[in-house]
Structure 1
Amino acid sequence: MDAKRVVELLYWRDIKTTGVVFGAGLFLLLSLTVCSIVSVCSYIALALLSVTITFRIYKGILQAVQKSDEGHPFKLYLDQDVSLSEDVVHKYSDLALERLNTLIKELRRLFLVEDLVDSLKFAVGMWVLRYVGALFNGLTLLILGLIATFSCPVIYEKNQAQIDHYIALVSTQVKDIVGKVQAKVPGMKRKTE
């Protein structure tokens, strides 16, 4: 899936497709709040299997009644090659390895306090996440993230001028506060200054 299709999906350009993707994702996450992942996967597999078996039997009966020789209704899909090529696997495994190494280097930099300001920002972020974790579990955060992913781009697109204005105000205030704190606390100035 390319970036253009993802943007069209998130901005609700094709309402039916976006509705199906959003609804299926939300249904899956809400199902996981009630049942275990094993149960949800087995229920989805059973539902899909019951639809395909019913359709296969229906087409077989229809062919017998009409005395036609159309063949297997899923022949087109059975003939398609669904195997992954080595190039695709190598490409994505190399990309994952590169990102993992970048993450490890960044965590090493933060935990070993290469830059005091960045390490303190990381500590504040972890402190905030501690409270978020106490309020929400991971599944709830995934549900909220899915809803935000499908609603925030549309809201921003419709109210871009007002949102940009308030973001600029908040950004200015945060920069002023960070500047004042860095000026008052010894050892908090950045290396580049």
Structure 2
Amino acid sequence: MADHEESLLEKITEKLHGHDSSSSDSDDEKKSSPSSLQSKVYRIFGREKPIHKVFGGGKPADVFLWRNKKISAGVLGGATAIWVLFELLNYHLLTLVCHALILSLAVLFLWSNASTFIKKSSPRIPEVHIPEDPVLQFASALRIEINRALKVLREIALGKDLKIFLSLIAGLWILSIVGSCCNFLTLFYIAFVMLHTVPVLYEKYEDQVDAFSEKVMIEIKKQYAVFDAKVLSKIPRGPLKDKKKA
């Protein structure tokens, strides 16, 4: 009888533990459900990180997102001054470099002789040299990005994803039309201004832009499905699998 009672007690405790674990699991699911809902929120380009992290999270991100307004305004003002000099005033790069060197050498020469004549001692002009580590880091990062872009272009050229291939062709075609309307410097300046304005505006109106872009992407997918059913699916393709098997 004692053994029978002990077995009954063990079964009851197991059921109680099972009920507690199931209730705890349901509580965990309830707790995790808000996070799962948050993870399902649509972000443009499948973004999962904040805008500041997307731009690297360092000083360039601070400049693009106007964390320091003086530095961002100075960078944008310098780019605007360069564009005005070369585009509106028709200044040439070699002429600008020569004039800048002439002015700097003349100022240093006059300063050195004037201070020597007055104080009878030559001024201390600091030595300027380019450090090696930042240049190597920039070259290494540029090499990695170029290799990554070439790898992506190779995968697209292999024809693994027709949607990406058509999107790239359309993008390059639009870029060629824009390039025929303006020169490289103007195009570069427009892209530079957009980098200093679009991310800030997107960060400010993030939820509204993501909601609108979700509707646009749904409509694009619908139109692509119709185009695929009416055009792409009817394009004859050779029996590649049969050739490989043979």
TM value normalised by structure 1: 0.70
Partner of 1:121: 167
Q: State the Cα distance separating 1:141 from its structure 2 match.
A: 0.8
Cα RMSD (Å):
3.3
Aligned residues of 1:31 and 1:40 also touching (Cα < 8 A): no
Q: State the Cα distance separating 1:142 from its structure 2 match.
A: 1.0
1:136-176 deviation digits (Å, cap 9, x = unpaired): 22111111112111122232233333323322222222222
The 1-side partners of 2:148 and 2:138 are apart by 15
The 2-side partners of 1:51 and 1:14 are apart by 32
1:41 aligns with 2:97: yes
The 2-side partners of 1:55 and 1:155 are apart by 47
1:110-161 deviation digits (Å, cap 9, x = unpaired): 3453443332222222222221122222111111112111122232233333
Partner of 1:72: 123
| Larger Rg belongs to | 2
1:68-127 deviation digits (Å, cap 9, x = unpaired): x7x7344xx42x764415x963x5544444433333333333345344333222222222
The 1-side partners of 2:75 and 2:109 are apart by 24
Partner of residue 148 from structure 2, selected from 102, 111, 134: 102
The 2-side partners of 1:156 and 1:104 are apart by 29
The 2-side partners of 1:98 and 1:7 are apart by 20
Partner of 2:187: 141
Partner of residue 206 from structure 2, selected from 144, 147, 160: 160
Letter in 2 for 1:100: I
Closer/same/farther in 2, CA of residues 106 and 6 from structure 1, 3 Å limit: closer
The 1-side partners of 2:68 and 2:107 are apart by 26
Partner of 2:6: none
The 2-side partners of 1:187 and 1:6 are apart by 48
Q: Which moved more, 1:152-161 or 1:25-34?
A: 152-161
Aligned residues of 2:179 and 2:187 also touching (Cα < 8 A): no
Partner of 1:186: 233
The 2-side partners of 1:163 and 1:99 are apart by 28
The 2-side partners of 1:187 and 1:97 are apart by 41
Structure 2 unmatched runs, 5+: 1-55, 236-246
1:6 aligns with 2:60: yes
Higher RCO (CA 8 Å, separation ≥ 6 residues)? 1
Partner of 2:73: 19
Aligned residues of 1:32 and 1:40 also touching (Cα < 8 A): no
Aligned residues of 2:83 and 2:189 also touching (Cα < 8 A): yes
Closer/same/farther in 2, CA of residues 172 and 50 from structure 1, 3 Å limit: farther
